[in-house]
Amino acid sequence: MPTEEFSIRKYLRDVPLPFCPGCGDFTVMDCFLRAVYELGYKDLHDFVFCSGIGCAAWIPSPHFEADTLHTTHGRSIPVATGVKLVRPKLNVVVFGGDGDIAGIGLSHLIHAARRNLDITVIMVNNMIYGMTGGQVAPTTPLRVKTTTTPYGSFEHPLDATRLVVAAGASYAARWTTVHREQMKEAITDALKTKGFAFIEAVSQCPTAFGRRIGLKTVGDMLTWLKKNSIPFTEAKKMTENELVGKIVVGEFVRRRLPTLTETIQDVIKEATRSGEAS
């Protein structure tokens, strides 16, 4: 633990934050930078941040005083792949929303987990396309009304955390913006993980989601998140039906597997020694 007191400003550029009042992105940004602080980083020089399109993509870019690559919609993970493979010593962190990471960019998430690419992906899940004004997302609960599902969504929401566990991630955890301490600890663990680490931060969007589901204030949304959260260990005792509409929170997986950069470095060592594959 560093001796100097935590100050979020030390990690930020002097650029006004774009988020709506009450947005959960403030909380996720705060949890992340506190985790970085507690790991002993005085600045973000050892980090590279990649993000795509959507509100959560603005958490690092351009606000973090660091190298930030703000990419095309959904493609932050491929760009992070190129960065990490060329500069394996840097900590590469991806921020994105559920639309960016689990919608348009979903296949990249699965493949990065499968490859066990040594990066941390923080997916802020507000269950809606917030920046474009509240359209249905792959994470929107069944029958919830959005601007593109005015009669209620027809679709079942995606559980991105369980998906990355199945795909081969080394670390995966889900917490909500109500669980600030747990989220900060989970981000600390994710950053320490060798291999693919995934954090799903279930978050409130009072502007484009809360008021559409009858939750008029940020407080109402946070209460709703808290009430619906079920710890991972308890959820194990519940049936699938009992878990519909619930948010399972906690650590889903933690394991040590060979990482992509480790394997590639081994291949390069062998190939430079022998000249060529036989």
Partner 1 sequence: MPKQSSSPPTTHFWQGNQACAEAAITAGCRFFAGYPITPATEIAEHLALKLPTVGGTAIQMEDEIASLGAVIGASWAGAKAMTATSGPGFSLMQENIGYAFMTETPCVIINIQRAGPSTGQATKSGQGDVMQARWGTHGDYTSIALSPNSVQEMFTLTIKAFNLAEQYRTPVVLLADEIIAHMRENITVPNPDKIAIINRKKPKPQDKAFFGSQEIPPMPAVGEGFNISVTGSTHNEHGYRFTADQTIHQRLVKRLIDKITNNKDKITDFECHNIDNCEVGLVSYGCTSRALYELIDFERKEKTKIGFVRLKTLWPFPDAIIQRMAETAKTILVPEMNLQQIFYEVKRAVEGNAQVIPINKIGGGEMITPEEITTKIKRGTKHAH
Among 23, 31, 59, 80, binds partner 1 (CB under 8 A): 80
Residue placing its CB nearer to partner 1 in the complex, 71 or 229: 71
Closest contact distance (angstroms) between CB of 98 and partner 1 is: 19
Closest contact distance (angstroms) between CB of 228 and partner 1 is: 33
Closest C-alpha among 109, 113, 120, 160 to residue 28: 120
Binding range to partner 1, per CB under 8 A, among 172-180, 198-206, 219-227, 263-271: 263-271
Binding range to partner 1, per CB under 8 A, among 2-10, 42-50, 205-213, 247-255: 42-50
Q: Are the beta carbons of 122 and 201 closer than 8 angstroms?
A: yes
Residue placing its CB nearer to partner 1 in the complex, 73 or 226: 73
Q: Work out whether 8 is an interface residue with partner 1 (CB under 8 A).
A: no
Peptide bond between residue 60 and the one before it cis (omega within 30 degrees of 0): no
Q: Work out whether 45 is an interface residue with partner 1 (CB under 8 A).
A: yes
Q: Work out whether 12 is an interface residue with partner 1 (CB under 8 A).
A: no
Distance CA 110, CA 253 (A): 15
Distance CA 157, CA 20 (A): 25
**Which positions ≥6 away from 249 have C-beta within 8 Å?**
174, 175, 176, 179, 182, 202, 229, 230, 231, 232
Q: Work out whether 169 is an interface residue with partner 1 (CB under 8 A).
A: no
Binding range to partner 1, per CB under 8 A, among 59-67, 126-134, 143-151, 154-162: 59-67
Q: Work out whether 86 is an interface residue with partner 1 (CB under 8 A).
A: yes
Say what angle helices 260-274 and 76-86 make with each other, to 10 degrees: 40
Q: What pairing do the DSSP bridges indicate for beta strands 247-254 and 171-176?
A: antiparallel
Distance CA 49, CA 6 (A): 21
Closest contact distance (angstroms) between CB of 220 and partner 1 is: 32
For residue 92, give the 3-state DSSP assignment.
strand
Q: Work out whether 108 is an interface residue with partner 1 (CB under 8 A).
A: yes
Among 165, 230, 235, 264, binds partner 1 (CB under 8 A): 264
Helices (H), the chain: 24-38, 76-86, 98, 106-115, 160-167, 180-192, 218-228, 232-235, 260-274
Interacting residues with partner 1 (CB under 8 A) = 13, 15, 45-46, 48, 50, 61-62, 65-72, 75, 77-87, 89-90, 107-108, 111, 264, 267-268, 270-272, 275-277
